[in-house]
A and B are shown apart, each in its own frame.
Chain A
Amino acid sequence: MNIVIVEDEPLVLQRIKRLTLDILKSQQPKIQCFTDIDDAENYLLENTVDLLLLDLNLKGRNGFDLLKSNVSAGYHTIIISAYSEKAIEAFQYGVLDFIAKPFTSERLSKSFDRILDKSQRNYYGCRYLSIKKLGVIELISLSDISHIQADGHYSLIHLVNQTEMTALHSKSIEKIMQLLPENFMRVHRSYVVNMNNVNQLLIEPGSQYTVKLNSGVEVPVGRTKYQEVKLYLKSKP
């Protein structure tokens, strides 16, 4: 497991590193430390990273720009900051967790559980998916997303209005699923659907299930997911 820590106060950096090593002992984590996010950038680009623990001064606008850039990457980001009043906003952009300073070992460990158990979803769903397109960060509002399709290690995001346009997100569909709110459902191994955008549930011959979306696109539904989808659509007509 490859973990990057960014923290400008040496003693706090030491603390995060010490506690992480301690909690994730069994995973044999490889930890890389930086005092500055700019210094970490090259490393993040050139290496496969699983998790970024980031101390971010979220006071100014450029704190959030950095945040958006990081959440568009393939790894999960956990913010560790004293600016706890900014937590909800950070969640909206798609951080996996927000740890307020000062923090204990228990709090950190709870956060790491989400990394290990991919089925756990965030308490606060994100509002946007941040996407890097030709080096520029774009925010896609969740209500504009029709469904998401797995594409190897990446995810293909289909939009509501532009059926022929898609966007590529660096995170795997499992990781994105962890950030999304309840109305997004994993209907298939390779598909996540925005349930607000579903028109109807169809049963094709040969007990093939599909959901028809408002755009007319049909998305396959996994055999095991059928009951769940049916129940969800019933509860929310």
Chain B
Amino acid sequence: MFLKYIKKLILLMPFLFMSVFAVGSGNILKTDIKNKFNEISIKIIKQGDELNCHLLTTKDNHWKKVTFDQIPQYSHFCIRAWVNLDKSLMTSSPSLLVAMLGASSLYWDEQLISKNGKAGTSIETEIPGILKTLVKIPDLLASDGKHLLSGEVSTFNLSKRLNGIGYILRLVDERKLHSQILILSILSAIFIGISLILSIIFQLIYCLYQKQIYYQVFSIFCLSSSLILATEQAKFWLDYTYDWHIFRLSLIYSFTFLASTLLPLFYLLYYRFSNIWLYTLFIILGLLCLNSVAINYDQASTFLFSGALLSTLAINAYSSYRAKKGQVILVILLLSLPFLYFIPDYFNEFGFSLVFIIIVMTMLVSLIKEMHTNKFEALKTERIKAELLRRNMQPHFLMNCLTQLIELIEVKPKKAVEFICVLSDEFRQLTTQNVKNKIKLSEEISLCNKHLSIMSVRYQRPYQLIVEGETEGVFIPPSILHSQIENCFTHNAISSNRSFELMIKNVNGNVDLVLKTPIEKKIDHHGTGLGEQYIKARLTEYERINTNPRKRNVCSFESYEDSQYWVSKFSFYPRYKF
């Protein structure tokens, strides 16, 4: 027991390792608190105004004071900011890292150091700049002490009003920055790679191995999560002009929406809920509601994703309550939720990918387990099918029939021919119908009658099956009644003329079958044999094969002794709800 938990912990080790790594590398981006522009003075540039924006002597006391993320959209303006440079904190010469949605020309102590696009007075005159730029401060100008950073900025090329367009304005240590970006890129590349490979593997499994719809859903989920991560990380490795930024954000947003819908859908399918499409509709509506309250893209993504997590949590909670499945996933989901709510800022950078990967891994574990049980069940049914066939074809039944035949051939050759015909009829029907999943009840009854007529010849008694009720429209797994009748002969010496009875009740598709077989001299105990195993395997298979996802066949089987009869009760109820 204890060992089992240790094993599970060891399995979780890579995740822990990755999360520690991620937390560590996520933090280094934030540590550089010094060498920061704390306060920015801003003034809109109006035509004809002489601002002297870049002059050290310009008085900016009465200018508006903002932080960098508050710079306005659709404007042409000048910014001025003072920084106290402390080179002792840096290993190499300082560089200026700027990430914002705009075109700009930046000056350091009145010297032009960077020109990114061309600031203009309108959307026509502006040439959009690249999202992020890194400029080395000339060594001559980079002395310890106070410096002025000033810039002319225009932000007209945005198709949509955003909540904040200035992301980063900071003096950085270039060498440190590169190693940080490298680590981030490696991590995200690993995440993206894992998701992509899983997506391909499960697409192949779906196409070539088993057409289970949730394999497909899982595959698309993996694909969309790798796309989210890839577009999210694109800011690091793709230099694009800022007018594409909204496009990228909306791409991330749509992939997130897709993934957030697929995640709960996967679990709905996996736990075989009925009314799946109704639930999915609910979830989509819920996600849309969450989306409408979000104020920006980042928040919308976080909301969507937490909506997906919460509904997945609900599904797993319900399932672990109802079917004792999904506790592990429940725990992992509960553990990952704090990521969202306690470190939301951090979440957007890293928690997001991490939670994604952990969820994908738990899904993967469930899927592999599922594949294992599927394979096991399939093997088991195959084996029992084979054994049942062998029981009919092989030693005892066949040998007894052949003994009969030897006598008939020597004494009444004509009867022997008749006997061979019935015998081969039964074998033929048995072999053809045993490969199917379900057959008509009337076919099964005809098989039973064939068996009874063979037994009638063997014991020289008119055995009969009396059928009460309508057989039309009733389907059952093959050879289950036949197996019970056969059992009756192997476990009984029936020396009277008592008949076999089958009662059929069909109320709106809810089918109940009651088969009564006489008990006379019991030879062996009923109910432990291969026959019942076969029936149970058949019923399990029958519950699984139903292709209509809204419907589920709930089968049950019981058998017991009741006043000189062995009673076998079967029921097949289509269910619409989980």
Q: Which residues of B contact A84 (CB under 8 A)?
A: 395, 399
Interface of A is mostly: loop
Chain B nearest CB: distance from A53 CB in Å?
13
* Inter-chain CB contacts under 8 Å: number: 66
Does A14 lie at the interface of the complex (its beta carbon under 8 Å from any beta carbon of B)? yes
Chain B nearest CB: distance from A103 CB in Å?
7
- A61's nearest neighbour on chain B, judged by CB, is B524
The residue from A8, A14, A59, A83 contacting B407, defined by CB atoms under 8 A apart: A14
Q: Which residues of B contact A190 (CB under 8 A)?
A: none
Q: Which residues of A contact B524 (CB under 8 A)?
A: 59-60, 62
Q: Which residues of A contact B406 (CB under 8 A)?
A: 15, 102-104
The answer to whether A12 and B396 touch (CB under 8 A), given A57-B523, A59-B523, A102-B402, is: no
Does B88 lie at the interface of the complex (its beta carbon under 8 Å from any beta carbon of A)? no
Contact A62 B399 (CB under 8 A): no
The residue from A36, A63, A82 contacting B399, defined by CB atoms under 8 A apart: A82
Chain B nearest CB: distance from A7 CB in Å?
10
Does A85 lie at the interface of the complex (its beta carbon under 8 Å from any beta carbon of B)? yes
Does A115 lie at the interface of the complex (its beta carbon under 8 Å from any beta carbon of B)? no
Does B184 lie at the interface of the complex (its beta carbon under 8 Å from any beta carbon of A)? no
Q: Which residues of A contact B508 (CB under 8 A)?
A: none
Contact B495 A83 (CB under 8 A): no
Q: In the assembly, what is the distance between CA of A59 and CA of B399, in Å?
A: 15
Contact A36 B495 (CB under 8 A): yes
Q: In the assembly, what is the distance between CA of A10 and CA of B455, in Å?
A: 11
Chain B nearest CB: distance from A74 CB in Å?
27
Does A35 lie at the interface of the complex (its beta carbon under 8 Å from any beta carbon of B)? yes
Q: B480-507 toward A: CB 8 Å interface, digit per residue (1/0)? A: 0000000000100101000000000000
Residues 52-86 (chain A) with a chain B CB within 8 angstroms: 57, 59-60, 62-63, 82-85
Q: B123-149 toward A: CB 8 Å interface, digit per residue (1/0)? A: 000000000000000000000000000
Q: A199-227 toward B: CB 8 Å interface, digit per residue (1/0)? A: 00000000000000000000000000000
Q: In the assembly, what is the distance between CA of A104 and CA of B402, in Å?
A: 11
Q: Which residues of B contact A83 (CB under 8 A)?
A: 395-396
The residue from A12, A36, A60 contacting B403, defined by CB atoms under 8 A apart: A12
Interface of B is mostly: helix
The answer to whether A9 and B493 touch (CB under 8 A), given A57-B523, A60-B523, A60-B524, is: no
Does A100 lie at the interface of the complex (its beta carbon under 8 Å from any beta carbon of B)? yes
Contact A10 B459 (CB under 8 A): yes
Q: Which residues of B contact A101 (CB under 8 A)?
A: 399-400, 402-403
Does A11 lie at the interface of the complex (its beta carbon under 8 Å from any beta carbon of B)? yes
Q: In the assembly, what is the distance between CA of A59 and CA of B395, in Å?
A: 12
Contact A10 B460 (CB under 8 A): yes
Contact A12 B395 (CB under 8 A): no
Q: In the assembly, what is the distance between CA of A85 and CA of B493, in Å?
A: 22
Q: In the assembly, what is the distance between CA of A104 and CA of B407, in Å?
A: 9
Q: B75-105 toward A: CB 8 Å interface, digit per residue (1/0)? A: 0000000000000000000000000000000
Q: In the assembly, what is the distance between CA of A63 and CA of B561, in Å?
A: 22
- B397's nearest neighbour on chain A, judged by CB, is A82
Contact B396 A82 (CB under 8 A): yes
Q: Which residues of A contact B404 (CB under 8 A)?
A: 9, 11-12
Q: Which residues of A contact B407 (CB under 8 A)?
A: 11-12, 14-15
Q: In the assembly, what is the distance between CA of A84 and CA of B405, in Å?
A: 18
Q: Which residues of B contact A8 (CB under 8 A)?
A: 459, 493, 495
Q: Which residues of A contact B490 (CB under 8 A)?
A: 59
The residue from B458, B495, B521, B523 contacting A11, defined by CB atoms under 8 A apart: B458
Q: In the assembly, what is the distance between CA of A103 and CA of B460, in Å?
A: 20
Does B168 lie at the interface of the complex (its beta carbon under 8 Å from any beta carbon of A)? no
The answer to whether A102 and B523 touch (CB under 8 A), given A8-B493, A83-B396, is: no
5 pairs, CB–CB < 8 Å, chain A vs chain B: A8-B459, A10-B460, A11-B460, A15-B407, A82-B400
Where the two chains meet, the residues of A that have a C-beta atom closer than 8 Å to any C-beta of B are: 8-12, 14-15, 35-36, 38, 57, 59-60, 62-63, 82-85, 100-104
Q: Give 4 closest A-B pairs by Cβ, nearest first.
A: A82-B399, A60-B524, A102-B403, A15-B407
